[in-house]
Amino acid sequence: MRRPPAESCRAVLVVALVVLAGCTGFLGGGSGENEATDSGPVTPAPVPDTPNGTSAPGADVSPPPGIDGNRITNESALIGAHQSILANETFRLRVTATDETVGSPSQYIVHGANGSRLLVTTVDGEELIYRAERADFRRDFNFTSNDPELRSERVVMRSAPASNVLVSGVRRLREGAASVTRVQRDGATFYRVHRTEPPGSTDDISNFSLTAYVRADGFVKTIDLSYDQAGVGRPQHVDRRWTYSLDAGPLEEPDWVTRTRNGNLSAFATGEYPPGINESGLADLDELWDAHRTHLGVKSFTLNRTGDLNRTGNRILSRLPPRATVAVENRSRYHVRRANESDTYVAGGDKYNENGIYLTQQAGRFGGTVEYWVKRGSNHGRAWLQGDNTSVERVEQNGTTRFRLTVSEPLNRFAMAIRNVTTTALIGPAGLIRTIEVELAVAGDEGENWTDAEYRYSYDRIGNTTVSKPAWVTRMQQNRTATPIATTARSSA
């Protein structure tokens, strides 16, 4: 199946990723006044001198946290109050964009449950992204004229970004002067916060308008933001709206997520070649790697890094990951045995290092824990696959069809003195990479004395890896000599 142009794929994800990333830049909503019509186009509205049904905030109703008089005095207090409300509720967030950045009007909905699970859909109910247990499940979709189009039944699983959808849009309520009035909307009291000056140094921003409706307890109902930005090339007009609502009802895991969790990844094997590969070689490394790490996200595996690259005492080779055996039973239970270095064992959210230190699980934004994820760098071999000179051939291994991908002179991502590099990867029809073998010449510390060397990644015991607690962990627990250190870090050993 032909992959759509990269430019169209970027347009697809603009709003959905803004929703999930919760970035702090200028990406906002329109300036509409009537929340009941938030599903329609968002257009700027004038700010009346004395809005109907408004009055100055009085002593009978305290203003929201972080808002005092005609100022946003503490944005952290306001964000925290809004977040704490959503963390204990089911909610729905509608994001509307009617600006030149995304083209024609676009709308997305996030259905959230207690801050730990969420589902991104179109307004018509087309399910696109599901997040739970610190994992993102993304369907294979593209947009044509801002309408979603599923390209296949593939579902990619990856580590969820360190973002907080509970405060998407709310982070635009920065500290500073604002017009604050108390209003009645649908029988409820809100504080209308309006400002026309952008925060910070924004010489390229003009016609700025931000309007938010905030309950006295800090729940932010709507945020409307519009402005013009000079940018590079031609000016752009940005017009966005976020609308939150509570009591959105239960959130069930979609069937396509359950199918992926259960290891049904047959959709990756429907093409003539593995994902990201065509008759000429490597067509899209991201597509191939997404398939590979989805397999390893739902199945146990053992990664062996071997070779004759001796890192000890070599400043150049020390940039490579150590030779190691990484046994992964699941994301929260694994054992890393490194050559000439201390071992690491993780189970139940606690991480033990053979040198006598352990890290203990702490509740974080996503219930923080130390987990194992297959990443994009050299630890798992991806860095050796990136290059323009590639070829592929169909081969047989023990009666099973494989695809042998060859990459000549891959990009040097290590700032190392290496040359004559050739990478050979053996890949299954569904995109699971079984081996990555690297042949190269490496210079000594002084950039001379070139030596031929090999380095190999092998993914073995797929779906058949179990991890037992090492004896040294048992001794550590019995002796109670280890020092606990709080962490919310994720591992990619």
Low-confidence ranges of the chain (pLDDT < 50): 1-59, 103-104, 362-368, 487-490
What CATH number corresponds to the domain at position 121?
2.50.20
- What are the angstrom distances between the C-alpha of 416 and each of 250, 310, 315, 317, 445? 52, 14, 10, 8, 10
Residues 14 and 144 in one domain: yes
- Helix or strand (DSSP H, E) at 6: helix 6-21
Position 481 in a domain: no
Q: Exposed/middle/buried for 472, CB within 10 Å: 0-12, 13-18, 19+?
A: middle
In angstroms, the Cα distances linking 343 to 286, 469, 472 are 31, 12, 10
User: Has residue 128 been placed in a domain?
Assistant: yes
Contacts of 46 (CB under 8 A, 6+ apart): none
Start-to-end C-alpha separation, the chain: 34
The pLDDT value recorded for residue 43 is 34
Residue 436 phi/psi, 5-degree rounding, is -130, 115
Rg (CA), the chain: 26
Query: Among candidates 279, 277, 304, which has minimal Cα distance to 290?
Result: 277
Whether residue 25 sits in one domain with residue 142: yes
Domain extent at residue 381: 263-460
**Does one domain contain both 228 and 361?**
no
Report in angstroms the alpha-carbon separations of 482 from 242, 317, 346, 347, 466.
47, 32, 14, 16, 25
Dihedral angle, C-alpha 357, 362, 365, 369, nearest 10 °? 50
Token pair for residue 110? Answer: 């996030």
* Residues 196 and 303 reside in one and the same domain: no
Tell me what pLDDT residue 1 has. Answer: 38
Both tokens assigned to 440: 């190269």
- End of a domain among 189, 216, 246? 246
Q: Do residues 338 and 205 both lie within one domain?
A: no
In-domain check, residue 381: yes
Residue 350 shares a structural domain with residue 220 = no
DSSP 439: E
Are 274 and 240 in the same domain?
no
Hey, CA dihedral for 403, 404, 408, 411, is it positive or negative? positive
Q: How many domains does the chain divide into?
A: 2
Q: In sequence order, which ranges of 265-360 are alpha helices (DSSP H)? A: 285-298
Looking at the fold, whether 177 and 306 belong to one and the same domain comes out as no
Tokens of 448: 């001379």
Angle at 234 between CA 233 and CA 238, to 5 degrees: 125
Backbone angles phi, psi at 95, to 5 degrees: -115, 125
Q: What is the structure's pLDDT at 42?
A: 32
Say whether both 138 and 65 belong to one domain. Answer: yes
159 and 302 share a domain? no
**φ, ψ of residue 252 in degrees (nearest 5):** -95, 145
Query: Looking at 184, 218, 246, which one is the last position of a domain?
Result: 246
H or E element: which one contains 241?
A: strand 236-246
Residue 487 lies in a domain: no
Residue 233 has which token pair? 């090339």
**SS3 at position 313:** coil
Contact 31, 238 (CB under 8 A): no
Q: Is residue 199 part of a domain?
A: yes
Instruction: Give the Cα separation of 282 and 288 in Å (integer).
Output: 9
Q: What is the pTM of this model?
A: 0.80
Name, in order, each residue with C-beta under 8 angstroms of 264's C-beta and a sequence gap of 6 or more: none
> What's the pLDDT score for residue 273?
96
Query: Do 84 and 57 belong together in one domain?
Result: yes
> Is 435 within 8 Å of 426 (Cβ atoms)?
yes
- Residue 225 located in a structural domain: yes
Tell me how far apart the alpha carbons of residues 334 and 491 are, in angstroms, rounded to a whole number. Answer: 10
Distance of CA 249 to CAs 201, 218, 252, Å?
A: 42, 21, 10
- Identify whether residues 275 and 236 lie together within a single domain: no
- The answer as to whether 475 is a domain residue is no
Q: Is 347 among the domain residues?
A: yes
